[in-house]
Amino acid sequence: MSMPNIQPSADLYNQVKGGLIIHGNTLNAWCRDNAVNPSNARQCLIGSWDGPKAKALRDRLIKASGMLIPSSSESENHSSPVRPATTGAPEFFYWGC
């Protein structure tokens, strides 16, 4: 099953890194655990490497980061909000002074 066509960008790179961190991992650790060169991971996410292998790696990284991908049934105007996955950490409220 193929992921929706997500355009590579510096923003995607940052989102994937953030998603991995939220799940207790880092991009470098994921690359080490999956025998992927970290430079290749970065290049496929920002788009400087964009062939079939890069697209497959990008799909793997997006899935590993836990990014929520809008389903194809959602309308193009994105009327339903995409919410990040919860971390299970307790919420803290700061009421200010």
| pLDDT for the residue numbered 1 | 44
Q: Give the whole-angstrom CA distance, residue 55 versus residue 51.
A: 6
Q: Give the whole-angstrom CA distance, residue 40 versus residue 49.
A: 8
pLDDT at 92 over 80: no
pLDDT in tens, 11-60: 999 999 999 999 999 999 999 999 999 999 999 999 999 999 999 999 99
